Amino acid sequence: MILDCAIIGGGPAGLTAGLYTTRGGLENVVMFEKGMPGGQITQSSEIENYPGVTGDITGMDLMMPWPEQCQKFGLKHDMAEVSRISKEGDVFTITKSDGTTIQAHSAIVCTGSSPRRAGFKGEDEFYGKGVSTCATCDGFFYKGKEVAVIGGGDTALEEALYLAKICSKVYLIHRRDTFRAAPNTVKRVKENEKIELVLNSAPQEVYGDASGVNGIKVKNKENELRDIQVPGVFIFVGNNVNNQTLIQEDGSFLCDVNKQGQVIVDLRMKTSISGLFAAGDIRIEAPKQVISAAGDGAVAGISAISYVDELLN
Ligand code: FAD
Ligand code: NAP
């Protein structure tokens, strides 16, 4: 059997693509998601910019009903990691990490992005032992204690605010003295008495022992070293796109990507390969928002329906 459409990734983009393709009439649509559906927003402690959703809700709350809504229209979920998407003639082959393959007439890549490492000493060594990239997952371990947050974007500032509710103090360490985060978020951080801004400071080393992290050393513009003694360090320094499934045996990409590895698409989410679409954080110029990822998923789903209709009829 050849699937009408294979969707890789089950975040906001993949789930919306699943909703539109199945509700729009495609048969045999499978969404391959290696974990629980919902995507990276499920790690967020709050979401206040999804239209129509008001109140104090987490990313997990927001995403909870999405899979069931898609399944109602026939979307199948295969809890599997995809290692490669390739194409021969008009048929795509989806290779899973266990080596099994499945064929599809069209494919929508929605594999999103993953937290970037900052690249300082001790970061990898203490990852999961005091160094974290998820405040909602690990913040509770530091209840009543002091923690450090690295970064100056929306994620770092929002998660610093979240951690300030649980922890006794948050050191927000940023390498510049201005932030990328939204002005309102910056204002809330500056007004929060539990957050100390450590600006123009770059992390040098996270240190500790067998029981975990003991602190982080940072260097400011004047080359002065400061030792901040905390048991928890949260790193939010941006994301890398998850484009590995597009890499072919010879190392080339299945479709055109830009220098950052983001997939080049047009306004219909079409890539340079016919029948292959990309949606959400993985695409060029992605605003990296739930609402835009979902919008992309809808566009890609509609485009896939047209493509499959034309191919088979
Ligand atoms: P993702 O959400 O990254 O989903 C991709 C999915 O693909 C994942 O579930 C992953 O497991 C799966 N996957 C990856 N590779 C494979 C593979 N090889 N095989 C199978 N499955 C695979 N946006 C907002 O609009 N408002 C906010 O308040 C907000 N807060 C945020 C807070 C945090 C902490 C973070 C990290 C992000 C936040 N964002 C927010 C951004 C938002 O979460 C993303 O823009 C959005 O989730 C992107 O959706 P996506 O579907 O493109 O990708
Ligand atoms: P980001 O906007 O790329 O910010 C990354 C931050 O980390 C920057 O401040 C950067 O410093 C710093 N940084 C990068 N590499 C570093 C290193 N090696 N060492 C120290 N600091 C480093 O990433 P993000 O905050 O994760 O946000 C990603 C996207 O998701 C953005 O588009 C954001 O708007 C969106 N998002 C939106 C919301 C929301 O709408 N509420 C919430 C979360 C995320 P410089 O500033 O000096 O470059």
Here the CATH number for the domain that contains residue 230 is 3.50.50.60
| 257 and 269, same domain (yes or no) | yes
Of ligand 1's listed atoms, the one at least distance from the Cα of 46 is 28
SS (H, E, C) 137-206: HHHHHHCCCEEEEECCCHHHHHHHHHHHHHCCEEEEECCCCCCCCCHHHHHHHHHCCCEEEECCEEEEEE
Question: Which atom of ligand 2 lies closest to the CA of 287?
Answer: 32
How many structural domains does the chain have? 2
Specify the residue for token string 């990409």. Answer: 253
Output the pLDDT for position 187: 98
CA of 180 to the centre of ligand 2 (A): 7
Residue 126 placed within a domain: no
Q: HSE, CB side, 13 Å, CA atoms: give it for residue 85.
A: 31
- 211 with 254, same domain: the answer is no
Ligand nearest to the Cα of 162, by number: 1
What SS3 class is residue 275? coil
Verify that 56 and 199 share a domain, yes or no: no
| 229 part of a folded domain | yes
272: containing domain = 2-115+239-312
**Same domain assignment for residues 16 and 73:** yes
Is 35 a pocket residue for ligand 2 (Cβ < 6 Å)? no
Domain boundary among 211, 235, 259: 235
40 Cβ below 6 A of ligand 1: yes
Ligand 1 and 67: CB distance under 6 A: no
Q: Are residues 41 and 12 in the same domain?
A: yes
pLDDT at 55: 83
Q: Check whether residue 299 and residue 264 sit in a common domain.
A: yes
Q: Mind listing the pLDDT tens digit of every residue in the chain (313 residues)?
A: 999 999 999 999 999 999 999 999 999 999 999 999 999 999 887 788 899 998 888 899 999 999 999 999 999 999 999 999 999 999 999 999 999 999 999 999 999 999 899 999 999 999 888 999 888 778 988 999 999 999 999 999 999 999 999 999 999 999 999 999 999 999 999 999 999 999 999 999 999 999 999 999 999 999 999 999 999 999 999 989 999 999 999 999 999 999 989 999 999 999 999 999 999 999 998 988 899 999 999 999 999 999 999 999 8
Q: Indicate the top mutation candidate among 44, 48, 180 to test ligand 2's pocket, ranked by most ligand atoms within 8 A of CB.
A: 180
Looking at the structure, tell me whether residues 243 and 111 fall in a common domain.
yes
Residues involved in catalysis: 134, 137-138
| Same domain (yes/no): 266, 301 | yes
